[in-house]
């Protein structure tokens, strides 16, 4: 039918713009944190994009749920505001007539939310933690960015490398400051290279044709030494991958095989995300009604507040399940049942073109 095709087209374009905006907000917010860590030298510059991608995959189920909710709300609100909804109502359609086409449009997104929540987001969380662990265990030279100073993990050396060559095996214009046995040493060299020993697999940086300046703090003696070759040990590498024990990173199949409250609470949370998407679809339809006296943005503000309360309630029930104070079946259903009852009440009142509050309640308010 005509209204279904028009509705699907507008929902598609609104959903596309909404997910781009929300993803941009998340990337900008996480980017501030990641860039701050990179500026302090905690993480290398070449890892910024990878960490941002993992963060986006982690929060994508919630973003898609909010996108679906706002898309339906914005689309139907515009129809009410521009009196298009009145035309469809006069043609014999009711508010419940929009449930079926909206559900058909939302079904692929709901399935995607379920796939992300149950499989892809835990995988992204695990890979993100493994990647961060690998960054922490990289050797000193691998963490140096050309043109910037970098302190060693042992806090006794400061490196500066102007540039790299030969896929990172060569270094150019090197400055090293070290503190050993009460003596401050400064090494300057035009070039150097990485050398690995075949016996214990230690790695050294061998500098060519440079100078070493040494200052004794006790007697302030100054020494200058020229050298043809000077090598120093790079801190030994640790295994780049470690086990991730975070419950958020555990595969869903592993969660089902355990009886711990912590794993059960995490499973309830993952299942709740696609269910909340379906519930919010039903809730967005009656919330899209606009009262000309209240303005255009009131229902949007109320909808965002309801979405925040809904997700916080799911988080609270997850915490109670984790503590063993709430049955998983009850905790997993009680919040959804509450929001479904609210959505059903609103749908009934709006479909019958009745005020949200019954007449008895309104009269009681007037008497007070």
* 127 shares its domain with 176: no
The three-state secondary structure class of 131 is: helix
Predicted pLDDT of residue 244: 46
* 166 shares its domain with 60: no
CB 134 within 8 A of CB 43: no
Predicted pLDDT of residue 202: 63
CB 22 within 8 A of CB 28: no
The answer to the question of residue 142 being in a domain is no
* 194 shares its domain with 50: no
The answer to the question of residue 247 being in a domain is yes
* 255 shares its domain with 164: no
* 100 shares its domain with 18: yes
The answer to the question of residue 148 being in a domain is no
Please tell me the distance from the alpha carbon of residue 288 to that of residue 347, in angstroms, as a whole number. Answer: 11
Residues contacting residue 301 through CB under 8 Å, at least 6 positions apart: none
Torsion of CA 92, 94, 98, 99, to 10 degrees: -140
Q: How far is CA 60 from CA 55, 255, 303, in A?
A: 9, 21, 20
Please tell me the distance from the alpha carbon of residue 142 to that of residue 161, in angstroms, as a whole number. Answer: 11
* 358 shares its domain with 250: yes
For the record, the structure tokens of 232 come out as 């120093």
Distance of CA 277 to the CA centre of its chain: 18
CB 176 within 8 A of CB 187: yes
pTM of the model as a whole: 0.72
The answer to the question of residue 147 being in a domain is no
* 125 shares its domain with 158: no
Helix (H) / strand (E) containing 164: strand 157-165
The answer to the question of residue 227 being in a domain is yes
Tens-of-pLDDT digits for all 368 residues of the chain? 677 788 888 999 999 999 999 989 888 888 888 888 777 666 666 678 888 888 888 889 999 999 999 999 988 888 888 777 777 777 777 778 888 889 999 999 999 999 999 999 888 888 877 777 666 655 555 556 566 677 666 666 777 777 766 555 677 778 788 777 667 888 888 887 777 666 555 667 788 888 888 877 677 777 888 888 877 666 554 444 444 457 888 888 888 887 788 888 889 999 999 999 999 999 998 888 776 566 667 777 888 888 899 999 999 998 899 888 888 888 889 999 999 998 888 888 877 776 666 655 555 554 55
Predicted pLDDT of residue 240: 44
Helix (H) / strand (E) containing 151: strand 149-151
Predicted pLDDT of residue 134: 65
**HSE of 83, CA atoms in CB hemisphere, 13 A:** 0
Domain count, the chain: 2
Domain boundary among 216, 234, 252: 234
The domain containing residue 222 runs over which residues? 154-234
* 223 shares its domain with 105: no
Predicted pLDDT of residue 239: 47
Domain boundary among 234, 262, 283: 234
The DSSP symbol for 128 reads H
CB 46 within 8 A of CB 76: no
Domain boundary among 181, 215, 234: 234
The answer to the question of residue 331 being in a domain is yes
Based on its alpha-carbon atoms, the radius of gyration of the chain, rounded to whole angstroms, reads 30
Distance of CA 250 to the CA centre of its chain: 17
The answer to the question of residue 92 being in a domain is yes
* 182 shares its domain with 73: no
The answer to the question of residue 204 being in a domain is yes
Predicted pLDDT of residue 242: 41
* 206 shares its domain with 248: no
* 8 shares its domain with 71: yes
Q: What is the 3-state secondary structure (H, E, C) of 294-312?
A: CCCCHHHHHHHHHHHHHHH
Residue 33 φ/ψ, nearest 5 degrees: -65, -45
Predicted pLDDT of residue 295: 60
* 246 shares its domain with 304: yes
**Residue 199: how many other CB atoms lie within 10 Å:** 5
């Amino acid at each position: 039918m005509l209204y279904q095709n028009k509705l699907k087209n507008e929902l598609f374009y609104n959903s596309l713009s909404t997910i781009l905006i929300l993803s941009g907000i998340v990337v900008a917010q996480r980017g501030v944190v990641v860039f701050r860590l990179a500026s302090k030298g905690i993480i290398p510059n070449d890892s910024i994009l990878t960490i941002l991608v993992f963060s986006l995959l982690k929060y994508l189920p919630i973003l898609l749920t909010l996108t679906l909710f706002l898309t339906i709300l914005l689309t139907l609100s515009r129809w009410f505001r521009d009196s298009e909804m009145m035309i469809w109502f006069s043609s014999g359609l009711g508010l419940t007539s929009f449930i079926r086409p909206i559900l058909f449009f939302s079904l692929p997104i709901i399935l995607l939310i379920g796939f992300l929540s149950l499989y892809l987001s835990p995988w992204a969380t695990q890979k993100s933690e493994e990647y961060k662990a690998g960054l922490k265990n990289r050797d000193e030279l691998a963490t140096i960015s050309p043109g910037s100073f970098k302190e060693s993990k042992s806090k006794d050396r400061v490196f500066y490398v102007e540039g790299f060559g030969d896929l990172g095996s060569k270094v150019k214009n090197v400055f090293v400051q070290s503190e050993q046995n009460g003596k401050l040493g400064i090494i300057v060299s035009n070039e150097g290279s990485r050398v690995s020993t075949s016996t214990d697999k230690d790695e050294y940086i061998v500098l060519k044709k440079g100078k070493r300046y040494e200052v004794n703090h006790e007697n302030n003696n100054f020494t200058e030494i020229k050298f043809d070759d000077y090598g120093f040990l790079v801190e030994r590498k640790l295994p780049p991958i470690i086990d991730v024990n975070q419950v958020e990173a555990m595969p869903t199949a592993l969660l089902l095989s355990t009886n711990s409250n912590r794993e059960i609470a995490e499973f309830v949370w993952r299942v709740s995300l696609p269910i909340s998407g379906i519930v919010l679809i039903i809730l967005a339809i009656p919330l899209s009604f606009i009262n000309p006296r209240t303005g255009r943005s009131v229902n949007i503000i109320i909808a965002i507040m309801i979405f925040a309360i809904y997700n916080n309630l799911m988080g609270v029930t997850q915490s109670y399940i984790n503590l063993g104070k709430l049955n998983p079946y009850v905790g997993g259903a009680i919040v959804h049942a509450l929001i479904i009852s609210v959505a059903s009440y609103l749908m009934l009142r709006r479909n019958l073109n009745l005020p949200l509050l019954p007449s008895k309640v309104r009269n009681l308010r007037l008497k007070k």
